Amino acid sequence: MDDFSEILLKWYSHFKRELPWREETDPYKIWVSEIVLQQTRIVQGWDYYLRFVERFSTVADLANAEEDEVLKYWQGLGYYSRARNLHEGAKYIAIQHKGKFPRRYEDILKIKGVGEYTAAAIVSIAFNLPYPAVDGNVFRVLTRIFGIRTPIDTIVGKKEITNLANTLMDKKKAGIFNQAIMDFGALQCTPAKPDCKSCCFASLCVAKKKKLQHVLPIKTKKTKIRTRYFYYLYIRNQEKTFIQKRIKKDIWIGLYEFPLIESNKELSLDEILSNAFFKETLKNIAYITEDVSPIYKHQLTHQSIIAQFITLAISERKFIADSPLLSIFENEINKYPVSRLMERFLI
């Protein structure tokens, strides 16, 4: 389709979204915007991006920051490995590239957390280098218009779509092309209800002709959802409470939370209070069970968290000195980065 790029760019000139990073040419800020928008809707990521680049306006600002502060600015956005990778990436650039963001695609790929799509988006938008940025929107648009049935979650499928995007791209307008096809997928060729009637590719689209809009793109794998049960101990000691930092390689690593009892099944209050961790945590300490919260459900991509918060009151001061937990004043908890689940309870 020789005129694909021309048709697409004409559509883009009329319908492109006005976004705070859209006219940006600073590769650092483009990088941040791309990482913010991974697994995140624009309406949610917009304010996070603005706050993040206001506080960490340069690679050096981010590289020199403490991890807790970086995670705090990310709080509520989820997928916290993205924030840690940004932080590590900034330190890598500071050391390996003397603080100057690299221009070469191959060098950008070496930054932690940066894959082929993100590297292509950065070099095309910041430097207009002809690398196709192939994300979910692009997979959807191209498989539908060209009727491609190769599963997109296979190496063959990804290569086929990337090669096609490269062929279709206007090499002189690489950055605009990548942004245009992403916007087209987000606004016109949407996952559930594509606007086929007003589509500029309607007369050419194979999916429309064969009514395959809800079939394409094809995936071979189904996401398995793991259910986990979290029981948090909100221990109150006069004006203080206790938190711990998640340090194991798991969700929310680096964030803070109340002491946690995890189970692979639902537990009753009696089972929670007789749990070995509970007994060890409150060993020889008198407590009163003040409250048991309603169930909190928190959905992640591959996990479903079912949580409850058990509020306990203790009066003995020695617990503060003897406990391995971090003792803080309750009104200071907002200084620590916590998960969205914890944040929902604390609001």
In terms of Cα–Cα distance, which of 346, 337, 345 is closest to 244? 337
How many angstroms separate the CA atoms of 131 and 123, rounded?
7
Q: Which of these, 108, 206, 200, 93, lies nearest to 148 by C-alpha position?
A: 206
What gap in Å lies between CA 183 and CA 191, rounded to an integer?
A: 13
Active site residue 34: yes
Tell whether the torsion through CA atoms of 329, 330, 332 and 336 is positive or negative. positive
For residue 286, give the amino acid letter: A
Asked whether 39 and 301 are in contact (CB, 8 A), the reply is: yes
Q: How far apart are CA 300 and CA 57, in angstroms?
A: 30
Residue closest to 246 by CA, chosen among 28, 115, 71, 47:
71
Q: Chain-centre distance of CA 209, in angstroms?
A: 35
Angle formed at CA 130 by CA 125 and CA 134, multiple of 5 degrees? 75
The alpha carbon of 149 is separated from its chain's Cα centroid by a whole number of angstroms, namely 28
Q: How far is CA 133 from CA 139, 178, 203, in A?
A: 10, 6, 25
First to last CA, the chain: 54
Task: Tabulate helix, strand, coil % of the chain (nearest 5).
Answer: 45, 15, 40
Pick the catalytic residue from 24, 34, 316, 332.
34
What number of helices (H) and strands (E) belong to the chain?
16, 8
The DSSP code for 255 is -
CA angle 256–93–28, rounded 5-degree value: 80
Chain-centroid distance of CA 308 in Å reads 24
Task: List residues with catalytic annotation.
Answer: 34
